[in-house]
Structure 1
Amino acid sequence: MAFKPKLLMVDPSHFEVSYVINPWMKPGAWHEDPAGHLRQAQACSAALHQALTEAGAEVVMVPGAPGLPDMVFPANAAVVLDGRAIVARFACDERRGEEALFLNAFRSFEARGLLDTVVQYPEGIFQEGAGDCLWDDTRQQFWAGYGQRSAKASLQVTEDFFNVPVVPLELVSPRFYHLDTCFLVLSGGEILYYPPAFSAEGRAVIEGLAGKENVLEASDEDAAAFSVNAVNFGKEIVMARPPAKLKARLEERGYHVRSVDLDPFILSGGGAYCMTLRLNRFSAVKAAAEKAAAE
């Protein structure tokens, strides 16, 4: 890897499942044993942190806040590329309080030299971060989900800000409200995705741009396990405990799959990708410039 991945996580001390904004959320199950679930969530977050570190990443941890339990899913906080970050606008009232806190966090990263530029999506244009905007290093483009949480109008804002192609993918199922719940870009050029989450047009776009030989279809079981919602860098994949068949398929392609118990977070509709945000992702042009400057 040219750059050691730097991944943002949020301390889960204030995590709970207390409302429903997606079909996976189960506050009733959480409140059967809130203290026990919180202890389990803290242990699972620590296990994810360890798996990412052992895979070769550096993890930057920031605090959460009372009353904002979904801050533990910073993938939705912003889209980041080439040292530039554009902070989210959340569609659901329950998450809008996160915006100011994440904006402050990203401005602190800017002050520390971790980022060069920090802005926010225009008011009224909903866009929920890297959860709906996945960078494809092979094709040097973003795949961007819209139609559930993120607005179609956000696509042009993203393209203009980063000056890279943005490929729209309409999400048609409320169960897969962010692109990262049903779509994983792998370093070898493969796309793992769950077809029922997409329109026929979207499926055709994915196959057309990725090539059928690079498209891996996730099963119902894979999607329900939140295994598609995974972190990949190099040949390392960190994901919520995958079904055996999916793990074997990925290992056949040369990937090393690290399985983590993320059950408390799945009660809120999130997995490994949701719980992280890559802060030092670079396009090929920027990566080449960074390498030349370092020599």
Structure 2
Amino acid sequence: MTATTLPEATTVPTPQATPRHYLMCPPKYFTVEYSINPWMDPGTPVDVDRAMAQWTELKNTYERLGHTVEVIEPQPGLPDMVFAANSATVIDGRVLGARFRAPQRAAEAEHFRRWFVTRGYRDLVMPSRINEAEGDFAWTGRVLLAGSGFRTDPEAHAEAQEVLGVPVVSLRLVDPRYYHLDTALFVLRTGDDAQIAYYPEAFSAGSRRVLQRMFPEAVLADAADAACLGLNGVSDGRHVVLPLEATGLAERLAALGYEPILVDVSELRKSGGGPKCCTLELHA
């Protein structure tokens, strides 16, 4: 009788947290006074005190998890400066600044550039193409996923590869509600075994095939997850900060060993923002 060799069990990596370094901007001047995405309605009242309280709790959450949070001073007349993720992309100490599509946000780029200069960042380049930074760039530890379709120019992807010196994979967004890559995809775990979560319907057919090929173990979000900007999450490899309403996604992540942390960002969502929009990661 011939013995049967059983296949080896697949080893699923145990989620591990690593300390992160973030840059944030308080929503001192937050309001919705113009509309540059489908979430924004200038006729909807905004409670600045509530927005500040939500932002403060988000910052405190990161610090309780052991992460470093630096803060840039907000500027009057720039209500969307709270969304610091749109200000730069930082990998291995190299900084690629931002260039905004909407004129209402254009001045933010210079304030963030000055912050990096005063903090001693010398390898800094301001882009020649429209580039909304981590709004459309997601670093997996090996590859930079880059979105286009509504904000960042496709040509900015090549510029990012040249400046940052990392391989770039272009993805096309097709649903205007998910106008930035970080509203439809985020990185759960970085490195050789990187894992992501994303909402497939936000992407073109070709981009979905690319993501399926690159990340067969990805966590797929449903329409309810996406509709509360549940994909605008922040992960340290184990703890995953999500909007309060993203309960379905939280359950799926918990089943994989991640620890979801749900936070209220309902006031900030009036501008189409969530935890990730408020959080620029400074990748050392």
What TM-score, normalized to structure 1?
Answer: 0.87
SS at match of 1:47: helix
Larger radius of gyration, structure 1 or 2?
2
5 Å-filtered alignment, 1:235-254, equals 235-254=238-257
Map of 1:291 onto structure 2: none
Instruction: Give the 3 Å change call, closer, same or farther, for CA 3–218 of structure 1 in structure 2.
Output: closer
Map of 2:93 onto structure 1: 83
Letter in 1 for 2:225: D
5 Å-filtered alignment, 1:149-188, equals 149-187=151-189
Map of 2:108 onto structure 1: 98
Map of 1:260 onto structure 2: 263
Relative to its length, the structure with more helix (as a share) is 1
CA contact (8 A) 2:17 2:237 kept: no
Map of 2:205 onto structure 1: 200
Separation of aligned partners in 1, 2:279 and 2:254 = 23
Q: What is the Cα-based RMSD across aligned positions, in Å? A: 1.4
Alpha-carbon distance, 1:3 to partner: 6.0
Map of 2:126 onto structure 1: 120
With 182-191 and 246-255 compared, the bigger mean Cα shift is at 182-191
Separation of aligned partners in 1, 2:18 and 2:246 = 30
5 Å-filtered alignment, 1:130-141, equals 130-137=134-141, 140-141=142-143
Alpha-carbon distance, 1:190 to partner: 2.4
Letter in 1 for 2:34: Y
What TM-score, normalized to structure 2?
Answer: 0.90
Alpha-carbon distance, 1:26 to partner: 2.2
Alpha-carbon distance, 1:186 to partner: 1.0
CA contact (8 A) 2:22 2:279 kept: yes
SS at match of 2:49: helix
Separation of aligned partners in 1, 2:85 and 2:246 = 23
Deviations 1:185-206 (A, max 9, x none): 1116322111111100000000
Find the partner of 1:40 among 46, 50, 53.
50
Separation of aligned partners in 1, 2:26 and 2:204 = 36
Alpha-carbon distance, 1:100 to partner: 1.2
Find the partner of 1:26 among 34, 41, 45.
41
Map of 2:70 onto structure 1: 60
Deviations 1:243-266 (A, max 9, x none): 332211101111111111001110
Map of 2:79 onto structure 1: 69
Alpha-carbon distance, 1:58 to partner: 1.0
Deviations 1:75-99 (A, max 9, x none): 0001110001110010111110111
Separation of aligned partners in 2, 1:210 and 1:3 = 21
Alpha-carbon distance, 1:18 to partner: 0.9
Separation of aligned partners in 2, 1:222 and 1:195 = 12
The number of equivalent residue pairs is: 266
Map of 2:10 onto structure 1: none
Letter in 2 for 1:198: F
